[in-house]
Amino acid sequence: MITIDNVNAARQCLSRAQRVAVLTGAGVSAESGIPTFRDALTGLWARFDPMKLASEDGFRADPPLVWRWYAWRRELVAKALPNAAHYALASAQLRFAAFDVITQNVDGLHALAGSASIELHGSIVRTTCLARCGFVENDPQLLPPGEPPRCPQCGDWLRPGVVWFGEMLEVAMLQHAERIASECDVMLVVGTSGLVYPAAALPALAMRHGAKVVVVNPSESELDQSATVIVRGTAAMEVPRLFE
């Protein structure tokens, strides 16, 4: 049965759980000042074409444009701080036998709040080589000059260390996330539209293995259909209440 607006029902699920998995999306960082992707008015994709900016073809078509877009987002992320939801998740991890945060976000805010999260879509501060020669730089300040810079190892373009449309997730990381989803008692899904796979398949996987699924989102999402309990509210308001 689906319960809407029911913080108490969500708390009850969590209080009986030993193993909790958390899946987060852009909505968990919205109250940190980082725009989501698909909000009709303020979302990042409202102003930009994702295929132009977040795919290898888009990058190859106009490397400086894509590089500048990610540099702009990196600056946005550098100024952002974790919000109450990130902190509540970080402190909740001590209370359960297992508590794993799986995120689609590339902003690093879970880590900054103290959660060792699985970053399914990579990290915006990481830079890798388009030719996959193995070059990785985790400090944007140390990048060679240029828009985009050239790889110091092989001379190809450097690119943001995120997963673009059409690219595979790291296999071992995805398998790890799937194992966590299939072994948890509760999956808490916060701030994701549930439109991007394979991340969007994790709640249904958890449910098939007997887990309860709690969704926190101020709006309807594709994942409502996999929910045991839906809490209609924002991450920073509702997530701390779930663990009070």
Residue 130 or 196: the one with the smaller Cβ distance to ligand OAD is: 196
Provide the minimum distance between the beta carbon of 4 and ligand OAD in the complex, in angstroms, as a whole number: 15
Residue 103 or 228: the one with the smaller Cβ distance to ligand OAD is: 103
Catalytic residue (choose from 86, 110, 121, 209): 121
Provide the minimum distance between the beta carbon of 57 and ligand OAD in the complex, in angstroms, as a whole number: 14
Residue 128 or 193: the one with the smaller Cβ distance to ligand OAD is: 193
Q: Which residues bind ligand OAD (CB under 6 A)?
A: 25-27, 30-31, 36-38, 43, 54, 104, 121, 162-163, 191-193, 195-196, 217-219, 221, 234-235
Dihedral sign, Cα of residue 17, residue 21, residue 27, residue 31: positive
Residue 118 or 162: the one with the smaller Cβ distance to ligand OAD is: 162
Closest CA to 38 of 46, 29, 48: 46
**Strand locations in the chain (E):** 3-4, 19-24, 98-103, 118-119, 122-129, 136-137, 158-162, 186-190, 212-216, 229-231
Known catalytic residue at 121: yes
Indicate the burial class of 186 (C-beta count within 10 angstroms; 0-12, 13-18, 19 or more): buried
Give the C-alpha separation, 12 to 7, whole Å: 9
Provide the minimum distance between the beta carbon of 177 and ligand OAD in the complex, in angstroms, as a whole number: 13
**Residue 203 one-letter amino acid:** P
Residue 65 or 98: the one with the smaller Cβ distance to ligand OAD is: 65
**Residue 45 one-letter amino acid:** W
> Closest-CB residue for ligand OAD?
27
Residue 237, C-beta contacts closer than 8 angstroms, at least 6 positions apart: 84
Provide the minimum distance between the beta carbon of 148 and ligand OAD in the complex, in angstroms, as a whole number: 17
Please work out, in degrees rounded to the nearest 5, the angle formed at the alpha carbon of residue 199 by the alpha carbons of 194 and 204.
Answer: 70
Give the C-alpha separation, 121 to 167, whole Å: 10
Provide the minimum distance between the beta carbon of 122 and ligand OAD in the complex, in angstroms, as a whole number: 8
Q: Catalytic site residues? A: 121
